[in-house]
Chains A and B, each alone.
Chain A
Amino acid sequence: MNSFERVVAVLNHELPDCVPAGPVMLMQGAAELGLSLEEYFSRGENLAEGQLRLWEKFGHDLLCGFPHVVEDITAFGASLMYFRNGPPSAGEMVIRSYDDAFNLAIPDPASSPVLNETLRALHLLAGQVKGEVPIVGACIAPFSLPSMLMGTEMWMELLFIEEPAVRQPVLDHLLNVTLEFCAAWANAQLAAGADVVVLADGMSSAAVLTRPQFMDLALPVVRAVVRRIDGPVLHEGVGDIVPMVDLLPSTGVVGLMLTPRDNLSATKTLVGQQLALIGNLNNIEMRRWSPADMTRTAQSALAQAAPGGGFILAAQGPEVPLGVSDDVIHALVHAAHAWRY
Chain B
Amino acid sequence: MDSVTMDPVKQMEKASQGSPNHAAGKGVIESPEIKRGGFLKNIFTGMISLAKGMKVTFHYFSHPSTVVTQQYPENRDTLKMFDRFRAHLTMAHDEKGQHKCSGCQICQKACPNASISVVNRSNPVTGKKELDRYVWRMDSCTFCNMCVQVCPFGTLKMENQFESSVYDRRLLVYTLNRYAGPTAQVLGKLESDEERTKQMEPRDPYSGPTPMNGQAMAGVAALGEKKGEGESK
Q: Are A and B physically bound partners?
A: no
